[in-house]
């Protein structure tokens, strides 16, 4: 997805805090206001993208292989499952060989498509060898094929925290999409360990991943 500033937060989900129920004296520190978080995310996003692009291509390839193994562990048997991946962009883990293996093992696959700003993504069926065309930000998308609803959504991470929250590119596409899906999908975030940060300062519109897979393993 493109490098966009975060838009105004929308009410998709809300991370609860129950510490006050365990300790009546607990007083959470004041959370940063949205404009401050927005500025911080923009700076952190640029730093993390620069850091992953600085990793040698052969090392990124090796890490992608480990991530693919982690995906197999997280998902299990892919036969009969419809999995949405992504087309690698700006140093993201390249899992296209794994996507081909999904189809070879009886699974089906799809790619996300950004229709326009402010709207959820759509998913279009795709298998290796299908015709592609340039979509938003020149990222290849399927040129034809039916819209589908995936069973598993794999989302690329610019950054992530231990609570499963994802720092993306700032357009809010995945959060809108996950909130709008007609049925719950298993959502797996994909990234490198260098993308791990203490917190993304979750906002009401941020939706946590069900799993995060890096070259170091699976975070549940």
Q: Answer yes or no: is 7 within a domain.
A: no
Looking at residue 149, its pLDDT comes to: 97
Q: Within 13 Å of residue 195, how many CA atoms lie on the same side as its CB?
A: 32
Contact 70, 213 (CB under 8 A): yes
Looking at residue 15, its pLDDT comes to: 42
Only one residue has tokens 């998913």, namely 123
Q: Closest Cα to residue 169, out of 159, 178, 179?
A: 159
Percent of the chain with pLDDT over 70: 86
Confidence check: pLDDT of 190 > 90: yes
Q: Answer yes or no: is 213 within a domain.
A: yes
Only one residue has tokens 């966009």, namely 4
Range from 3-7, 17-21, 66-70, 86-90 that averages highest in pLDDT: 66-70
Poorest-confidence range of 20-24, 28-32, 94-98, 146-150? 20-24
Q: Answer yes or no: is 125 within a domain.
A: yes
CATH number of the domain bearing residue 56: 3.40.50.10420
Confidence of residue 134 (pLDDT cuts 50, 70, 90): very high
Confidence of residue 151 (pLDDT cuts 50, 70, 90): very high
Q: Answer yes or no: is 6 within a domain.
A: no
pTM of the model: 0.85
Kindly report, residue by residue over 79-121, the tens digit of the pLDDT: 999 999 999 999 999 999 999 999 999 999 999 999 887 889 9
Looking at residue 23, its pLDDT comes to: 54
Q: Answer yes or no: is 100 within a domain.
A: yes
Looking at residue 11, its pLDDT comes to: 41
Report the distance separating Cα 176 and Cα 172, nearest Å. 6
Q: Answer yes or no: is 130 within a domain.
A: yes
Looking at residue 27, its pLDDT comes to: 53
Residue 90 lies in domain? 32-219
Looking at residue 117, its pLDDT comes to: 79
On average, the pLDDT of the chain sits at 88
Q: Answer yes or no: is 211 within a domain.
A: yes
Looking at residue 118, its pLDDT comes to: 80
Q: Answer yes or no: is 38 within a domain.
A: yes
Calculate mean pLDDT across residues 208-212.
97
Only one residue has tokens 């709008």, namely 180
Calculate mean pLDDT across residues 124-131.
95
Kindly tell me the sign of the dihedral angle through the C-alpha atoms of 204, 209, 215, 218.
positive
Kindly report, residue by residue over 32-89, the tens digit of the pLDDT: 898 999 999 999 999 999 999 999 999 999 999 999 999 999 999 999 999 999 999 9
| Domain count along the chain | 1
């Amino acid at each position: 997805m493109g490098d966009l500033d975060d838009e105004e937060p929308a009410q998709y989900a809300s991370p609860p805090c129950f510490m006050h129920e365990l300790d009546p004296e607990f007083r959470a520190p004041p959370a940063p206001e949205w404009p401050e978080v927005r500025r911080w995310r923009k700076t952190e996003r640029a730093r993390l993208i620069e850091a992953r692009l600085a990793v040698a291509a052969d090392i990124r390839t090796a890490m992608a292989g480990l991530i693919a193994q982690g995906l197999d562990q997280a998902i299990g048997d892919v036969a009969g499952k419809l999995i949405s991946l992504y087309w690698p962009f700006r140093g993201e883990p390249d899992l296209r060989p794994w996507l081909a293996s999904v189809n070879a093992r009886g699974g089906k696959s799809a790619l996300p498509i950004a229709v326009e700003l402010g709207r959820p993504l759509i998913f279009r069926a795709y298998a290796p060898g299908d015709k592609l065309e340039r979509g938003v930000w020149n990222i290849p998308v399927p040129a034809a094929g039916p819209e589908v609803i995936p069973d598993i959504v794999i989302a690329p991470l610019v950054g992530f925290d231990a609570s499963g929250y994802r720092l993306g590119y700032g357009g809010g596409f995945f959060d809108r999409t996950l909130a709008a899906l007609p049925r719950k999908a298993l959502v797996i975030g994909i990234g490198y360990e260098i993308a791990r940060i203490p917190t993304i300062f979750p906002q009401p519109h941020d939706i946590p991943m069900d799993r995060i897979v890096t070259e170091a393993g699976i975070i549940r």
